[in-house]
Amino acid sequence: MGATSFPLPGKVAIVTGGRRGIGKAIALALAEAGADIAVCDRVIEDGELGVVAEEAQRLGRRSLAVQADITQKADVDSLVERVVAEFGAIDILVNNAAMNIRAPLLELREDGWDRVIDTDLKGYYLCSQAVGKQMVSRKRGNIINIASTAAMYTAPEMGAYCIAKAGVVMLTKILAVELAQYNIRVNAVAPSMVKTKFSQPLWDDPETLKEIESGIPLGRLAETGDIIGSVLFLASDASSYITGHTIIVDGGLSA
């Protein structure tokens, strides 16, 4: 299902963690659907974020690449102010930035816990708060949080990540209820493992990959393109009566 199935002409979207992987795929899919795009990431020096913005421009859309640490309120506020100044409004926010530190909770250092929770949960709250205020003033908007099936199931040495993603699911529900009166919808997409550089340490060994895929009814790991359809659906008017919902995209793993 391509981007043209859920057109978004004239919309303005922010995608956090848009430098590569799922974030990059989402940003370019939104651009293909007609939205102008602002992508942000903590890292900008390697040029990958700028490449995403350039690809969006080649699709005929306005785009902006912004270095921002979503765990810092000042960075988030500056990001939102810049996007509004450049594009005039924000219609869609996709909270996607994430990180993980693999360790049992009893061995995870405090600073490691803080880094995971701050990026994977606090950052979503800060971005939703700042963008949400802009949306409230216009009485419309759409927030989409990228959660994970790790919110529902435990995973070895991924305790902080699982806890943060569970928090994202609840954040989605609470924001959906609080913002519904302003015609702002808030939903989440929860993929299982997606074949990206982020997850590569978990599946890089061929035997491990084979074992993981054998437990998935569809027989393979998700690709970034498998996540796009759900995000586009939630970003479009096709889902206008859906809010507070988490769409699980896991190849049948939870069936």
Whether 241 is catalytic: no
Determine contact, residues 27/1, Cβ cutoff 8 Å.
no
Q: Where are the alpha helices (DSSP H) in the chain?
A: 21-32, 48-58, 73-87, 110-117, 123-138, 159-179, 200-203, 206-214, 225-235
d(CA 113, CA 188): 23
Determine contact, residues 125/114, Cβ cutoff 8 Å.
no
- Residue among 200, 73, 216 at smallest CA distance from 131: 73
The full DSSP string for 178-232 is HHGGGTEEEEEEEE--BSSTTTHHHH-SHHHHHHHHHTSTTSSPBPTHHHHHHHH
* CB burial readout 217-235, b (16+ within 10 A) else e: eeeebbebebbbbbbbbbb
Determine contact, residues 95/76, Cβ cutoff 8 Å.
no
List the catalytic residue out of 124, 125, 153, 161.
Answer: 161
Residues labelled as active-site residues = 161
